Amino acid sequence: MAAVGRVDVAVVGGGPAGAVTALLLARAGRHVAVYAQSRHEALRLDEAPPPSVNPLLRKLGLWDRFLADSGRLGPMVVEAAEQAGAKVLRGACVGKVSRSSTGLRIEADKPALAKMVVDATGRTARVARAFGAHCVPFEKLVCVARVFDISPESAGDTFIEAAPDGWWHVSPLPHRRRIISLFTDAQEAARSRLATVDGWTRAMARTEHVRDLASGVPCGKIRVTTSTSHELAPPVGEDWIAVGDAAFAVDPLSSDGVEFALRSAIGAAEVLLGGDRSAYRRQVADEASAYRRLRASRRVGQPLASRAETSRAVGIDGAAPSRSTEQDAAALA
Ligand SMILES: Cc1cc2nc3c(=O)[nH]c(=O)nc-3n(C[C@H](O)[C@H](O)[C@H](O)COP(=O)(O)OP(=O)(O)OC[C@H]3O[C@@H](n4cnc5c(N)ncnc54)[C@H](O)[C@@H]3O)c2cc1C
């Protein structure tokens, strides 16, 4: 396949953080390539982001477009970046990024040579970690999920229920399926053998509401994926910068991920257009400190049991489906 050739910036990951970074750089006339492994075929919960995101979408000039696209954030920002001039490589997975005397080699089906790379790979922070950054975890959360084939009339809504061992998340998936996930401590998942059908079913049977939604025919195996929250140290280097979940990831229950994805993309684009790296370091550090304070105040984070005491089951009528992570959903399909 043809190479992309030389670009100013290669963005690895086409989630909201990567797409918005690419959009801003393309608008500023930079030559940008986005390696977007996901084709946005599956619907995601963060495509119906919380209202706190609205002012940012207005600031980015994306508000009308967001409304016109029925509120699907993911594909909308990727298309906006493309129309602004970014080269979007859909379905393209970057295997490795390495330094050479001529620039950064982006190793993929369509390779590129870039001056700078943006790590927008989500919680894996794959590029930044390969360059020596490390993830400082807040909590070792895992997602243990199972997919069910359901009847058309029981398609249902997104639903969240607190439990002593974590929180349950139920979402409709395309093709008349439903994904039921338990977010819990890694140790608890091992202790209760949640990756086994028996362990998962036992935990699910203890729920008040979710057990009524686990009807239908289970399809695929139970899948465990990391959902660990972290701060990346450092979030920016000489020739790379991390955005969104790669730079700072929080418990999905907080619903803050997309907002930070957009804010970090704005901060990163400023750096890549010649701004101050230390301002970006401060931005990420400030977010992480605020999250630590929130955890210390016990509004999120450990112990999980105290969260259950203060939470109640919440059904979100008509909320857009569906997110465990889209990779989880794809892997589970
Ligand atoms: C169950 C659940 C519910 C959530 N609910 C909400 C919510 O209600 N509101 C909210 O604001 N946030 C929510 N979040 C969090 C939100 O989804 C994330 O914070 C947000 O998606 C982060 O955006 P991102 O662009 O940094 O990463 P992602 O959206 O994870 O995107 C990263 C992209 O990088 C791609 N990628 C990875 N490696 C490579 C590679 N090597 N080459 C090419 N591409 C690659 C992946 O395919 C992916 O598409 C939720 C998360 C979960 C798990």
Residues 198 and 244 in one domain: no
Residues in the chain: 333
| Nearest-5° Cα angle at 280, 279 to 281 | 90
Q: What is the pLDDT of residue 70?
A: 66
| 94 pocket-lining for ligand 1 (C-beta < 6 Å) | yes
Spacing of C-alpha 139 from chain mean position: 16
Of all atoms in ligand 1, which is nearest to the CA of residue 258?
A: 11
Residues 27 and 61 in one domain: yes
Q: What is the mean pLDDT of the chain?
A: 85
Mean pLDDT of 210-220: 87
Judged by average pLDDT, the poorest of 64-68, 250-254, 271-275, 281-285 is: 250-254
Judged by average pLDDT, the poorest of 82-91, 139-148, 189-198, 321-330 is: 321-330
| 88 pocket-lining for ligand 1 (C-beta < 6 Å) | no
Mean pLDDT of 168-175: 82
Reported as a pLDDT band with limits 50, 70 and 90, residue 319 is very low
Number of domains in the chain: 2
Residue 69 pLDDT more than 60? yes
Residues 147 and 133 in one domain: no
Reported as a pLDDT band with limits 50, 70 and 90, residue 324 is very low
Residues 196 and 251 in one domain: no
**Domain of 172: which CATH number?**
3.30.9
Of all atoms in ligand 1, which is nearest to the CA of residue 93?
A: 42
Residues 10 and 95 in one domain: yes
Judged by average pLDDT, the poorest of 194-208, 216-230, 303-317 is: 303-317
Mean pLDDT of 74-78: 90
Residue 125 pLDDT more than 60? yes
pTM, full prediction: 0.85
**Domain of 241: which CATH number?**
3.50.50.60
Residues 238 and 264 in one domain: yes
| 325 pocket-lining for ligand 1 (C-beta < 6 Å) | yes
Identify the domain containing residue 129 by its residue range.
5-137+230-295
Residues 264 and 129 in one domain: yes
| 120 pocket-lining for ligand 1 (C-beta < 6 Å) | yes
User: How far away, in angstroms, is 325 Cα from ligand 1 center?
Assistant: 7
Amino acid at 216: G
Residues 9 and 99 in one domain: yes
- State what percent of residues in the chain have pLDDT above 70: 83
pLDDT digits (tens, 9 = 90+) for 287-308: 999 998 888 886 554 444 444 4
